């Protein structure tokens, strides 16, 4: 571990990306994510990497995909409005299976909303923001050190499964500064994309084995293959053949589905004896932890279930919990987005309540405590 | 197919999907002649395209090829080139692709003077979607979305690129293929952002709506209306004609060079 | 559980409150404490309301913002009016008397100190009012050690301004000492 220091969530994303091997960043300034761009503009310039400030968020996402195709580990960071603009090319990355990481520091929306204030309104956009069914992985840190760890993991997952991975922060976590002790470089596990083991003339760029993830050649290495956002066959060329279309789209889903047990991540606090379990993620989980402690002081048996990967959702973990006689309260800074997923998983077996707030401030423990008392 | 160009094509992907009489194949031939003439390493050359008829060209060419999203080809290409500057990077776009939805990326790629060779297949129309007017459709011409004639003003793409900072700007037509090949070669040799506009015919949509005759008539019109800048006497382009040839060339620092030089300088200074 | 400190630094944009919060938090780390620093601010770089909060304590810190304000610094009238309401009987409020004319009667100990005036007249630069304020705040409360505060400050300030900032810090410490003496005297009389 390194010496303890004060670090901001956005800074931890930047540092985590560098630790994961980031060597290409394209971005466009937008509050409250700008620090990621600022920090990396300097660090990549210093360490021989590439930084470019593009003309908009669409171009940033495009440049990231282009760089990744040459073998770079590439990332962009943005917030609300910029995240909307990136969606088309995020879909491209999903379709063409180009590894990349997108940091979205959520602010209040819709539209320009409140630029400097926290919200969690992009939960569904992170999952379904681009058109068409597609696989995606979304991670939600709730502390600064988790921003660091999960950014490294985001790169590892992106590389391993050839998918765009979204780091979904909120303004609280992105701008919060905390004491952190980071692992030293040799303690960090790094996963790189699978390289082709076939000679260039035998390389079938989108054919996969049992793991459903094709190997990936870099541009400029003699493989001379085609990449398109059109539905394509294993050779990479556009097709409208219904069988190939179905099997290609199936594989995109399956490669995440198949590996869901190793992708999902969640945390449970004091759930063993809990009668009420609060479900929260990101900055909200911090308030929930306090509310839980306050409730315990009153003798209320309250626990917390915190999805760390929200997509894929830690479904099996929540199902296990729901087999017990507990009530759930999903606490979110939106009008109930992950609540829908919780309700789906619980399937009516348990009562699922909500506590929602979107007023530009982090939901207060007192507000949550009141809700606990109401439903207990 | 001639053996000297055959190696650059994915023969198994032919015949191409373009309509009879479409000029896109001619542009492709000139592009390949230029790549061959320049002696570029096929493994170190990448073709990036957007969305539309012209952009389908990438799929027929045997390089690392990237068929991107509508309008964004230059932004994807910027990522490729900046990440791996040793790759020769050609960007193929249509007029709608490049000047409407991709207009912002065009001016910024030009402003950076990043070393990309961009080809705009200008057929004055959105062909793939069936003939809607583009920013390159001349005023008063007809399209499916301009039934009574286009009231928009069109871009002068050459002046636009020049104004935005491109360091090589040229135009040819699918009639003037030798000139086109030469201009693409020169464009690629220019270390900076180069744009070659190719006037190409879309008989199916643009030609038909505007009663421009058969494909051969449209080619003939290219011949008749194009004026080589070298033969221009008093600097005045006659009414209804347009210039072809190398229209502008300038010296300016190239983006990636600037970045790498500045970064190296910092490290040599022991900055970090 | 050992006590945590919840500190709120408030005023307007451009007064260096967020930097002050960072320095205070870093001093907390040097003291071996756990810290969280948060902020809220408007879109303006200058002017508009600005608030930095620091929670310092020995254990894990869950809720990152201030709930029960132990220490309030108010550098303008608006923040003084807005945040003094939250104070408890054992809270400490340090108010810049050179910028705040109306101090509401509130719970806790209130120290009106001419922070900006001291920075301008004693230190010679109004810009370091935030450092004077930090000195006064730590001098009056001990939320972090003086030594750690000074070390954290030196690690953050631009080269060539160390002397100026040390002077600002000392001015803050001195103001705290005088204020405390004054208070004690008042209590005795």
Q: Which of A48, A63, A218 sits opposite B76 (nearest CB)?
A: A63
Q: What is the largest CA-CA distance in chain C?
A: 48
C contacts of A361 (beta carbons < 8 Å): 40
pLDDT at B271: 63
Are B76 and B68 in contact by the 8 Å Cβ rule? The answer is yes
What's the token pair of residue B167? 């360091």
Q: Which of A23, A59, A227 sits opposite B75 (nearest CB)?
A: A59
Checking if the pLDDT of C189 tops 50, the result is: no
DSSP C79-94: HHHHHGGG--TT-EEE
pLDDT band at A342 (very low <50, low <70, confident <90, very high): very high
Mean pLDDT, chain B, whole residue set: 96
User: What is the dotted CATH code of the domain comprising C5-188?
Assistant: 3.40.920.10
Checking if the pLDDT of A262 tops 90, the result is: yes
Are B120 and B98 in contact by the 8 Å Cβ rule? The answer is yes
pLDDT at A72: 98
Quick one: B31 exposed, middle or buried, by C-beta within 10 A (0-12, 13-18, 19+)? buried
Say which DSSP state A363 is in. P
B66 touches chain A (CB under 8 A): yes
Does the domain spanning A5-187 belong to CATH 1.10.3720.10? Answer: no
CB contact under 8 Å between C63 and A116, yes or no, is no
Chain B nearest-CA residue for A62: B76
* Domain positions in chain A: 5-187, 267-375
A contacts of B68 (beta carbons < 8 Å): 62, 65, 92, 229
pLDDT per residue as tens digits for the range B37-47: 999 999 999 99
Q: What is the mean pLDDT of residues B63-71?
A: 98
pLDDT band at A269 (very low <50, low <70, confident <90, very high): very high
CB contact under 8 Å between C29 and A5, yes or no, is yes
Classified by CATH at the fold level, domain A267-375 comes out as Rossmann fold (3.40.50)
**Interstrand relation of B64-67 and B45-49 (parallel, antiparallel or unpaired):** parallel
Rounded Cα gap, residues A107 and A121, in angstroms: 8
B255 vs chain A: nearest CA distance in angstroms? Answer: 10
CB contact under 8 Å between A66 and B80, yes or no, is yes
Q: Is B199 helix (H, G, I), strand (E, B) or coil?
A: strand
Q: What is the mean pLDDT of residues C34-53?
A: 84
C84 vs chain A: nearest CA distance in angstroms? Answer: 19
pLDDT at C106: 85
Checking if the pLDDT of C3 tops 80, the result is: no
Checking if the pLDDT of C5 tops 90, the result is: yes
A contacts of C149 (beta carbons < 8 Å): none
Checking if the pLDDT of A265 tops 50, the result is: yes
Checking if the pLDDT of C42 tops 80, the result is: no
pLDDT band at C40 (very low <50, low <70, confident <90, very high): confident
Chain B nearest-CA residue for A205: B64
pLDDT band at C43 (very low <50, low <70, confident <90, very high): low
Rounded Cα gap, residues A368 and C136, in angstroms: 36
CB contact under 8 Å between A4 and C29, yes or no, is yes
Are A181 and A4 in contact by the 8 Å Cβ rule? The answer is yes
Checking if the pLDDT of A340 tops 80, the result is: yes
pLDDT per residue as tens digits for the range B207-221: 999 999 999 999 999
User: A354-363, B38-47, C45-54, C155-164: which has the minimum mean pLDDT?
Assistant: C45-54
Checking if the pLDDT of B56 tops 60, the result is: yes
Quick one: A48 exposed, middle or buried, by C-beta within 10 A (0-12, 13-18, 19+)? exposed
Q: What is the mean pLDDT of residues A194-220?
A: 97
Reported residue count of chain C is: 189
Mean pLDDT, chain A, whole residue set: 97
pLDDT per residue as tens digits for the range C108-119: 999 999 999 999
C120 vs chain A: nearest CA distance in angstroms? Answer: 30
Say which CATH number the domain at B44 has: 3.40.50.970
Question: Could you report the predicted ipTM of this complex, rounded to two decimals?
Answer: 0.97
Q: Report the percentage of chain A scoring pLDDT > 70.
A: 100
Query: Own/partner pairs for A350-353, CB < 8 Å, 24+ apart?
Result: A350/A322, A350/A325, A350/A326, A351/A327, A351/A375, A352/A327, A352/A328, A353/A327, A353/A328, A353/A329
Checking if the pLDDT of B272 tops 80, the result is: no
Note which residues in 249-278 of chain A have CB less than 8 A from chain B. none
pLDDT per residue as tens digits for the range A174-189: 999 999 999 988 899 9
Checking if the pLDDT of B1 tops 80, the result is: no
Checking if the pLDDT of A344 tops 50, the result is: yes
pLDDT at C2: 55
CB contact under 8 Å between B67 and A229, yes or no, is yes
CB contact under 8 Å between A290 and C37, yes or no, is no
Say which DSSP state A195 is in. P
Q: How many domains does chain B contain in total?
A: 1
Choosing among B43, B57, B84, B114, which should be mutated to test the A contact, i.e. which has the most A CBs within 10 A?
Answer: B84
pLDDT at C47: 72
Q: How distant is the alpha carbon of residue A303 from its chain centre?
A: 24
A contacts of C67 (beta carbons < 8 Å): 290, 364-366
Q: Which of B69, B77, B81 sits opposite A89 (nearest CB)?
A: B69
**CA distances (Å), C41 to each of A32, A195, B224, C141, in order?**
11, 47, 65, 25
pLDDT per residue as tens digits for the range A26-46: 999 999 999 999 999 999 999
Rounded Cα gap, residues B158 and C75, in angstroms: 57
pLDDT at B79: 98
A45 vs chain B: nearest CA distance in angstroms? Answer: 6
pLDDT band at C41 (very low <50, low <70, confident <90, very high): confident
* Domain positions in chain C: 5-188
Checking if the pLDDT of C1 tops 50, the result is: no
Choosing among A178, A331, A366, which should be mutated to test the C contact, i.e. which has the most C CBs within 10 A?
Answer: A178
Q: What is the mean pLDDT of residues C32-53?
A: 85
Checking if the pLDDT of A190 tops 50, the result is: yes
Q: Is C123 helix (H, G, I), strand (E, B) or coil?
A: helix
HEC secondary structure over C129-173: HHHHHHHHHHHHHCCCCHHHHHHHHHHHCCCCCHHHHHHHHHHHH
DSSP A259-272: THHHH--EEEES-T
Q: What is the mean pLDDT of residues C81-99?
A: 94
Q: Report the percentage of chain B scoring pLDDT > 70.
A: 99
Mean pLDDT, chain C, whole residue set: 92
Tell me which residue range forms the domain holding B91: 3-268
Say which DSSP state B42 is in. G
A52 touches chain B (CB under 8 A): yes
pLDDT band at C49 (very low <50, low <70, confident <90, very high): confident
pLDDT at C126: 95
Q: What is the mean pLDDT of residues B107-125?
A: 98
Q: What is the mean pLDDT of residues C77-94?
A: 93
């Amino acid at each position: 571990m390194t010496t303890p220091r004060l670090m901001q969530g956005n800074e931890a994303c930047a540092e985590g990306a560098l630790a994961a091997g980031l060597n290409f960043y394209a971005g466009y300034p937008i509050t409250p994510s700008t620090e990621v761009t600022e920090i990396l503009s300097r660090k990549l310039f210093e360490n021989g990497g590439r930084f470019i400030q593009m003309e908009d968020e669409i171009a940033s996402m495009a440049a990231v995909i282009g760089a990744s195709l040459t073998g770079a580990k590439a990332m962009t960071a943005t917030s609300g409005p910029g995240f909307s603009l990136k969606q088309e090319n995020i879909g491209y990355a999903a379709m063409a299976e180009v590894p990349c990481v997108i940091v979205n520091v959520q602010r209040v929306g819709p539209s320009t909303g409140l630029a400097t204030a926290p919200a969690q309104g992009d939960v569904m956009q992170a999952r379904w923001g681009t058109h068409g069914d597609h696989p995606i992985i979304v991670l939600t840190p709730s502390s600064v050190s988790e921003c660091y760890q999960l950014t490294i993991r985001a790169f590892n997952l992106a590389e391993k499964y050839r998918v765009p991975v979204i780091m979904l922060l909120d303004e609280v976590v992105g701008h919060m500064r905390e004491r952190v002790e980071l692992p030293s470089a040799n303690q960090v596990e790094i996963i790189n994309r699978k390289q082709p083991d076939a000679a260039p003339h035998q390389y079938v760029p989108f054919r996969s084995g049992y793991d459903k993830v094709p190997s990936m050649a870099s541009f400029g290495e003699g493989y001379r293959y085609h990449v398109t956002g059109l539905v394509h066959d294993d050779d990479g060329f556009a097709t409208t053949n219904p069988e190939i279309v179905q099997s290609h789209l199936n594989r995109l889903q399956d490669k995440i589905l198949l590996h869901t047990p190793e992708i999902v991540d969640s945390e449970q606090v004091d759930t063993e004896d809990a009668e009420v379990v609060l479900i929260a993620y990101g900055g909200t989980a911090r308030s929930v932890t306090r509310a839980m402690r306050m409730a315990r002081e009153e003798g209320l048996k309250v626990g917390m279930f915190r999805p760390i990967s929200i997509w894929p959702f830690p479904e099996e973990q929540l199902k296990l919990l729901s087999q017990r006689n507990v009530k759930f309260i999903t606490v979110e800074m939106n009008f109930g987005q992950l609540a829908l997923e919780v309700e789906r998983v619980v399937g009516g077996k348990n009562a699922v309540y909500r506590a929602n707030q979107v007023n530009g401030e982090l939901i207060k423990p007192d507000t949550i405590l009141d809700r606990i008392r109401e439903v207990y | 197919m001639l053996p000297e160009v055959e190696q650059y094509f994915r023969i198994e992907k032919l015949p191409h999907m373009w309509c009879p009489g479409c000029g896109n194949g001619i542009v492709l031939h000139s592009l390949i002649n230029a790549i061959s003439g320049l002696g570029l390493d096929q493994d170190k050359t990448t073709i990036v395209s957007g969305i539309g008829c012209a952009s389908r060209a990438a799929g027929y060419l045997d390089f690392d090829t990237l068929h991107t999203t509508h309008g964004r080809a230059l932004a994807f290409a910027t990522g490729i080139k900046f990440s791996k500057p040793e790759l020769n990077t050609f960007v193929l776009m249509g007029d709608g692709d490049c000047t409407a939805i991709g207009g912002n990326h065009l001016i910024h790629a030009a402003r950076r003077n990043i070393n990309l060779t961009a080809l705009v297949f200008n057929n004055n129309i959105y062909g793939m979607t069936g003939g809607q007017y583009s920013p390159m459709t001349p005023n008063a011409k007809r399209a499916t979305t301009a039934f009574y004639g286009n009231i928009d003003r069109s871009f002068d793409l050459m002046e636009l690129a020049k104004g935005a900072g491109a360091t090589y700007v040229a135009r040819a037509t699918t009639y003037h293929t030798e000139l086109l090949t030469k201009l693409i070669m020169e464009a690629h040799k220019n270390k900076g952002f180069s744009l070659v506009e190719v006037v190409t015919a879309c008989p199916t949509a643009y030609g038909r709506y505007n009663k421009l005759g058969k494909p051969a008539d449209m080619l003939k019109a290219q011949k008749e209306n194009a004026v080589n800048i070298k033969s221009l006497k008093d600097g005045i382009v006659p009414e209804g004609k347009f210039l072809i040839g190398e229209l502008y060339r300038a010296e300016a620092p190239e983006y990636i060079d600037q970045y790498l030089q500045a970064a190296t300088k910092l490290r040599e200074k022991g900055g970090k | 559980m050992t006590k945590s400190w919840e500190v709120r630094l408030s005023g307007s944009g451009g007064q260096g409150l967020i930097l002050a919060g960072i320095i205070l938090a870093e001093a907390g780390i040097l003291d071996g404490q756990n810290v969280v620093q948060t902020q809220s601010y408007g879109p303006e770089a200058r002017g508009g309301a600005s608030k930095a909060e620091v929670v310092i304590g020995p254990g894990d810190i869950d809720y990152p913002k201030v709930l029960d304000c132990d220490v309030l610094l108010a550098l303008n009238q608006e923040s003084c009016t807005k945040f003094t309401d939250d104070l408890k009987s054992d809270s400490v409020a340090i108010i810049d008397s050179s910028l705040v004319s109306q101090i509401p009667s509130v719970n806790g100990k209130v120290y009106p100190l001419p922070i900006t005036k001291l920075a301008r007249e004693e230190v010679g630069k109004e810009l370091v009012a935030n450092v004077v304020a930090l000195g006064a705040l730590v001098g009056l409360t001990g939320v972090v050690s003086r030594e750690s505060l000074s070390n954290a400050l030196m690690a953050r300030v631009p080269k060539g301004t160390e002397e100026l900032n040390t002077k600002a810090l000392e001015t803050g410490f001195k103001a705290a000492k005088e204020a405390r003496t004054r208070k004690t005297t008042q209590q005795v009389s």
